[in-house]
Copies of this chain bind each other. A is one copy, B any other.
Amino acid sequence: MTLDILKNRRTVRQYERKDIPEQLLEELLETACRASNTGNMQTYSVVITRTTEIKKKLAPIHFNQPMIMEAPVVLTFCADYNRFIKWCKLRHAEPGYDNFQSFFSASIDALLVAQQFCTAAEIKGLGICYLGTTTYNTDQIIQALDLPKYVIPVATVTVGYPAAQTEQVERLPLEAIIHQERYHDYTSEDIDRLYREKEALPANQGFVAENGKETLAQVFTDIRYTRAGNEQSSKVLLKAIKDQGFTF
């Protein structure tokens, strides 16, 4: 088996009007659950959204990104200690999972399952898109999906049959990502060299021009991922984690 599907993958934001058979979706989710997890506790859950009713609730929470309404299936992957804690209590065991470590390890496990689901789906010819907005309006997702204590949504994935072939977007050279033996911090010359190709791409130069900015980095800091936005959503996310029972 080759790595071609993984190498050639790209995010798919436009889907055919065609449902995903229930049996295929279950096969993909079962396959995903084969990903590694902490202590085989499986501290995650997946909420499957197919109905217009729930999609309409989720859409504004995800800033009305059209994939929510257009994809046949929306999956919300959640860190979930609720099931495990309930099991402990029913088995005369005293759970100690109402803390940050437990929240974070459950998040790790949920994310590995999410990614394994995406790969399985792509192998089967489906296309996926992660919605980064899941950690922005966490409190509203909790409410829309009736998530109980000890359950936090950490990733939302839309999935369906691709309607259009899109261009693969760039990545930094591998040299930018890897460090041999120890972290070797970047000099200004390193940064210039590693970002040169990205900054020279016509699409990225277009973003700079369209937004009336001087540099691509300013498009990120001033428009896409601003301090004000990050600080606001940090507050919401931290409060949601605590309100759901993970105290720190």
Residues of A within 8 A of B (CB): 1-3, 5-7, 9, 11, 26-31, 33-36, 38-42, 44-51, 53-54, 78, 82-84, 86-88, 90-97, 99-102, 104-105, 107-108, 111-112, 114-116, 118-120, 123-124, 128-130, 132, 135-136, 145-148, 151, 154-155, 169-172, 174, 176-183, 185-186, 188, 191-192, 194-195, 214-218, 220-222, 224-231, 233-234, 237-238, 248
Contact = CB atoms under 8 A, between A and B. Distances in A.
A195 B88 CA distance: 11
B86 A186 contact: yes
A238 B248 contact: yes
28 contacts: A1-B5, A2-B123, A3-B27, A3-B31, A3-B123, A3-B124, A6-B116, A6-B123, A33-B171, A36-B129, A39-B132, A39-B220, A42-B177, A45-B177, A47-B182, A50-B181, A83-B191, A87-B217, A88-B221, A92-B214, A93-B222, A96-B225, A96-B231, A100-B237, A111-B112, A115-B116, A146-B183, A234-B248
Given A34-B6, A177-B42, A181-B47, A115 B111 contact: yes
Total identical chains: 2
